[in-house]
């Protein structure tokens, strides 16, 4: 189970770490299980989060490109470089 979740999360779990990690997560999940009882209680009224205000859809100056270039591990001709993904 922990390994399957780790695959989804793009993480590796070493064999030596698996027993401790599994125990810790099991204890946390068993503590968390109390919410299922609470969630079964009736909500007194409709509860929806406040609507998010929408900003004007307009271009504004930004330094996104330079920042990306500066912080990317590898870049070439102004593009980020990743390992080949197509044949």
Partner 1 sequence: MSSSVVGIAADVAARRRSGVEVTREALARVEAVDGRIGAFLEVSAERALEEARAADSRVAAGEDLPLAGVPLAIKDNMWVEGRQSTCGSRILEGFVSPGDCTAVARLRRAGAVFIGKTNLDEFAMGSSTENSAFQKTRNPWDTERIPGGSSGGSAAAVAARLVPAALGSDTGGSIRQPAACCGVVGFKPTYGRVSRYGLVAFGSSLDQIGPLTRSVADAARLYRVLAGADPLDSTSARLEVGDPEGALERGVRGKRVGFLAEAQAQELDPDVARDLAEARRAFSDAGAEVLDVSVPRAPAAIAIYYVIASAEASSNLARYDGVRYGPRASETDLLSLYRETRTAGFGPEVKRRILLGTFALAAGYYEAYYGSAMRARALLSEDFDRAFEQADVIVCPSIPAPAFRLGEKTEDPLTMYLSDIFTVPASLAGLPAISIPSGLSSGLPLGLQIMAPRFAEEPLFAAARALEREISFTDELPAAVR
Site residues for partner 1 per CB under 8 A = 2, 5-6, 8-12, 21, 24-25, 27-29, 31-36, 38-39, 41, 43-45, 47, 49, 52-56, 63-64, 66-68, 70-74, 80, 82-85
Residue with Cβ nearer partner 1 (77 or 84): 84
Question: Minimum distance between the CB of residue 77 and partner 1, rounded to whole angstroms?
Answer: 16
Q: How far is CA 18 from CA 14, 15, 22, 76, 81, in A?
A: 6, 5, 6, 39, 33
Q: Minimum CB separation from partner 1 for residue 76, in Å?
A: 13
Plot region of 77 (φ>0 → left; ψ -120 to 50 → alpha; else → beta): left
DSSP 41: S
């Amino acid at each position: 189970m922990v390994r399957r979740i780790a695959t989804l999360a793009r993480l590796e779990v070493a064999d030596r770490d698996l027993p401790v990690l599994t125990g810790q997560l099991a204890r946390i999940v068993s503590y968390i299980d109390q919410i299922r009882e609470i969630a079964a209680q009736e909500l007194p009224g409709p509860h929806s989060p406040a609507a998010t205000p929408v900003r004007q859809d307009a271009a504004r100056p930004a330094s996104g490109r330079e920042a990306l270039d500066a912080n990317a591990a590898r870049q070439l001709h102004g593009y980020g470089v990743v390992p080949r993904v197509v044949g």
